[in-house]
Amino acid sequence: MHSNTTPHSWLDLINSYLGWLASGGIAAGTLKLRRYQLERFALEIDKPASEVRLDDVIDYFEGRKWSGATVRSVRAALRGFYRWGCAVGRLDDDPTRLLRPLKHNARVRPPASEASIAEGLASVDRRVRLMVRLGAEVGLRCCEIALVNSGDVFEDLVGYSLVVHGKGGKRRIVPIEPDLALIIARCQGWLFPGQIDGHLSAKYISKLLSRAMSKATGHQLRHRFGTVTYDEGGKDLRAVQELLGHSSLVTTQIYVHVGDAAKRRAAAAAVVRPGVALAS
């Protein structure tokens, strides 16, 4: 029977590692996640960090029903911890260095349909209607919707914009419609107040959106935003990348869905017209 207390041999190392991460400006949410991942590993592995071997790490992942994103996140936490430990002389060996690279299978999620968006906008909950707009019109993640604050709206010579608090403490600026800007500016604080940290959690926002839209999720609203801004915005992938806050164009491409109509137009361009001679 394992104790629910982080082993003393791990605790000082974990605290020192997180302190090092914090010195580089890592967001509080990321630090909290890394602590959870490392402390959970320490509890289950049941041996000092210096005695962990490659087989222990492999066994830890064996049989887990985790999503690909979770597996990558936990692997990143362990790799970062051991690389730091070896670099500063606190550990002699990095058992994660020989982990085989993960095969990346990007699953392209379809964007939320206009019918799903209409369903969400018909919700009796005013908060949900605003959440749908922030996902579909502004391309916000659920964790970013949770952090929308009246102080994040500003007006310039062109129109209104919203300062978005993204993953990893990154910020970006996204243009918004005047009526949405006015709603946010009038809220005097958090747009979606809650009991934890003053605002609703990303998890709860995701749940509300899934309940309101029977055939779409909150994240699929973001895919809809990426697809529409690309199609209607001059096919400018770099602009879409900036609006979505991606560090890589490869990631942005996942959010740009090629619809059936676009495929038919492309295929029609290759049709041989009557009177066109084909080389034998």
Contact 102, 76 (CB under 8 A): no
According to DSSP, residue 149 is labeled B
CB atoms within 10 A of CB 99: 15
Among candidate residues 133, 165, 224, 257, the one labeled active-site is: 133
Among candidate residues 167, 170, 186, 215, the one labeled active-site is: 167
Among candidate residues 222, 223, 224, 257, the one labeled active-site is: 222
Is 167 tagged catalytic?
yes
Is 255 tagged catalytic?
yes
Contact 54, 95 (CB under 8 A): yes
Cα dist. 32→28, 47, 91, 132, 249 in Å? 6, 22, 23, 28, 28
Cα dist. 22→28, 94, 165, 168 in Å? 8, 22, 18, 11
Among candidate residues 141, 199, 246, 257, the one labeled active-site is: 246
Cα dist. 21→32, 78, 94 in Å? 11, 13, 18
**Tokens encoding 232:** 């209607």
Is 186 tagged catalytic?
no
Contact 9, 45 (CB under 8 A): no
CB atoms within 10 A of CB 192: 22
Is 219 tagged catalytic?
yes
Is 103 tagged catalytic?
no
Outline where DSSP puts E strands in 83-137: none
Residues annotated as catalytic (active site), given as ranges: 133, 167, 219, 222, 246, 255
